């Protein structure tokens, strides 16, 4: 591990390999693995993560937007890339970078066919998304005939896959709903196949869906948060290793007396003598203002130090009254032991938000 001399995000690729292999072990050998690397690979580094996963022979990548996929192509990634939420304005760029769009509405379908034909494409791979209950993106079951009529009228595109997205796959209380989504999607797929006379790949499961519903694995699974070390349950978290460690240092230590205040708006008032440390990380780096004022803590020499006062743009202050430390000492915000999911709970949020919020100005270091 790197000893912090500034604020850094350390990425451990042995943990990424472990997570990939563990999740792969849950699948039928014929089930393909799609790695979700959107949002800078959940706040880490999409290019470096994708390069490592490509070495591990991952079958597919997924990003949210065209720009993300184009960046991977420009970095030399050759594995197929699904763009989950493409916009019509980017369709030409999608084709130029050999990206594969999700087709989720009639407008998107018609416009992509138009651009593909204009670009003289033949059997360009697209992925048809169906809404089975999340009510976010996707065609309805009654749209099948409409989709097929357009597919049969053009040679420019071909449906490489059909897919949907589970709404509550991590929630045991919603098991009946998840099973119903799986069955509804299978029905859609059967209807589509009978009318097109060929079977596209089918994929439905995210990380928790893959872990909880083997009947939903189908031809491919889409794994995001699991690759980065979180399984959406305490049981599965124990089998995964967080790849990211966010750490910093103590810039300065102050001693304050009872009644003195800390930070903007004087939001922390010392109830007695206190020793406080200033750390160079703030809401511009991803530690939002929902933390602070006693919500959340960091670790200094393996001891808890509560975040006090309002989080500043570039700094936080922590209470180190009972911590043996000095200026320049390393500070852990989260790592493989003090997990981002635990840190997130103090801000009434989830690990996804904490991870993806880490600013690109935070220096990345790689433990390969």
Alpha-carbon torsion (15, 17, 18, 24), positive or negative: positive
| Tens-place pLDDT, residues 185-207 | 999 999 999 999 889 999 999 99
Q: How far apart are CA 5 and CA 26, in angstroms?
A: 40
pLDDT at 368 over 90: no
| Tens-place pLDDT, residues 310-355 | 999 999 999 999 999 999 999 999 999 999 999 999 999 999 999 9
Spot the catalytic one: 175, 264, 363, 368.
Answer: 264
Residues 193 and 199 sit within 8 Å (Cβ to Cβ): yes
- Which of 32-41, 86-95, 227-236 is predicted with the least confidence, judged by mean pLDDT? 227-236
pLDDT at 217 over 70: yes
pLDDT computed for residue 223 by the predictor: 98
CATH number where 185 lies? 3.20.20.10
Is position 7 within any domain? no
Indicate whether 198 and 312 sit together in one domain.
no
CATH number where 297 lies? 2.40.37.10
Is position 119 within any domain? yes
Is position 172 within any domain? yes
Read off the pLDDT band of 1 (50, 70, 90).
low
Spot the catalytic one: 38, 129, 241, 339.
Answer: 38
Indicate whether 168 and 259 sit together in one domain.
no
User: Of 198, 228, 258, at which residue does a domain stop?
Assistant: 228
Indicate whether 312 and 165 sit together in one domain.
no
* Structural tokens at position 361: 């100005």
Indicate whether 209 and 304 sit together in one domain.
no
What is the arithmetic mean of pLDDT over 73-95?
A: 98
Domain count, the chain: 2
pLDDT computed for residue 119 by the predictor: 97
Torsion of CA 310, 316, 303, 346, to 10 degrees: 50
DSSP structure string for 34-54: EEE-HHHHHHS-HHHHHHHHH
Indicate whether 103 and 192 sit together in one domain.
yes
Range of the domain at 288: 244-367
Indicate whether 223 and 271 sit together in one domain.
no
Read off the pLDDT band of 149 (50, 70, 90).
very high
Question: Based on C-alpha coordinates, what's the Rg of the chain?
Answer: 24
pLDDT computed for residue 106 by the predictor: 98
pLDDT computed for residue 248 by the predictor: 98
Indicate whether 264 and 332 sit together in one domain.
yes
Cβ-in-10-Å burial (0-12, 13-18, 19+) of 257 comes to exposed
Q: How far apart are CA 273 and CA 286, in angstroms?
A: 30
Which residues are within 8 A (CB) of 42 and not within 5 positions of it... i.e. 6 or more apart? 36, 224, 225, 227, 228, 352, 355, 356
* Structural tokens at position 182: 């799986």
| Tens-place pLDDT, residues 232-249 | 788 889 999 999 999 999
| Tens-place pLDDT, residues 101-129 | 999 999 999 999 999 999 999 999 999 99
Indicate whether 168 and 211 sit together in one domain.
yes
- Please report where in the chains the tokens 């029905």 appear, as a residue: 187
pLDDT computed for residue 351 by the predictor: 94
What is the arithmetic mean of pLDDT over 42-58?
A: 98
Indicate whether 207 and 257 sit together in one domain.
no
Is position 238 within any domain? no
Read off the pLDDT band of 2 (50, 70, 90).
confident
Indicate whether 174 and 258 sit together in one domain.
no
User: Of 197, 228, 259, at which residue does a domain stop?
Assistant: 228
User: Of 204, 228, 252, at which residue does a domain stop?
Assistant: 228
Q: How far from chain centre, in Å, is Cα 271?
A: 41
26 in active site: no
Is position 314 within any domain? yes
Is position 20 within any domain? no
- Residue 85 CB-half CA count within 13 A: 9
What is the arithmetic mean of pLDDT over 81-97?
A: 98
pLDDT at 220 over 90: yes
Residues 246 and 12 sit within 8 Å (Cβ to Cβ): no
228 in active site: no
Read off the pLDDT band of 29 (50, 70, 90).
very high
Indicate whether 179 and 280 sit together in one domain.
no
| Tens-place pLDDT, residues 67-78 | 999 999 999 999
* Structural tokens at position 72: 């991977």
From the list 121, 128, 196, 125, the residue with the least C-alpha distance to 155 is: 121
Tell me the percentage of the chain whose pLDDT exceeds 70. 100
pLDDT computed for residue 26 by the predictor: 95
Write down the mean pLDDT value for the chain.
Answer: 96
Indicate whether 201 and 114 sit together in one domain.
yes
Is position 3 within any domain? no
Cα angle 113, 90, 69; round to 5: 110
Is position 15 within any domain? no
| Tens-place pLDDT, residues 262-320 | 999 999 999 999 999 999 999 999 999 999 999 999 999 999 999 999 999 999 999 99
């Amino acid at each position: 591990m790197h000893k912090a001399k500034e604020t850094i995000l350390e990425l451990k690729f042995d943990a990424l390999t472990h997570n990939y292999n563990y999740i792969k072990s849950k699948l039928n050998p014929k089930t393909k693995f799609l790695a979700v690397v959107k949002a800078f690979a959940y706040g880490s580094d999409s290019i470096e993560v994708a390069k490592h996963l490509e070495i591990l022979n991952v079958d597919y990548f997924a990003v949210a937007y065209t720009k993300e996929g184009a960046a991977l192509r420009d970095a030399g990634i050759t594995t197929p890339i699904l763009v989950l939420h493409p916009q019509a304005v980017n369709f030409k760029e999608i084709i130029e970078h050999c990206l594969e769009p999700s087709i989720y509405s009639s407008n998107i379908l018609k416009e992509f066919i138009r651009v593909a034909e204009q670009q003289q494409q033949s059997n360009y791979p697209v992925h048809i998304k169906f809404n089975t209950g999340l009510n976010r993106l996707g065609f309805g079951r009654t749209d099948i005939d409409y989709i097929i009529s357009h597919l049969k009228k053009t040679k420019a595109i071909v449906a490489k896959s059909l897919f949907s997205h589970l709404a509550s796959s991590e929630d045991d209380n919603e098991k009946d709903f998840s099973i119903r989504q799986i069955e509804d999607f299978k029905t859609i797929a059967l209807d589509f196949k009978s009318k097109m006379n060929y079977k596209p790949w089918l994929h439905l499961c995210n990380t928790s869906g893959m872990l909880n519903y083997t009947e939903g694995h189908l031809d491919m699974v889409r794994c995001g948060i699991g690759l980065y070390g979180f399984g959406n349950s305490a049981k599965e978290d124990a089998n995964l290793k967080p790849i990211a460690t966010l750490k910093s240092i103590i810039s300065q230590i102050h001693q304050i007396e009872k009644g003195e205040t800390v930070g903007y708006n004087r939001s922390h008032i010392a109830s007695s003598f206190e020793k406080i440390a200033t750390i160079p990380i703030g809401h511009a780096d991803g530690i939002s203002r929902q933390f602070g004022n006693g919500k959340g803590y960091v670790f200094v020499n393996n001891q808890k130090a509560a975040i006090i006062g309002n989080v500043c743009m570039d700094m936080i202050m922590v209470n180190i009254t009972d911590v043996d430390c000095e200026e320049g000492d390393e500070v852990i915000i989260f790592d493989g032991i003090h997990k981002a999911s635990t840190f997130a709970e103090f801000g009434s949020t989830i690990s996804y938000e904490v991870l993806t919020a880490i600013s690109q100005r935070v220096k990345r270091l790689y433990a390969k």
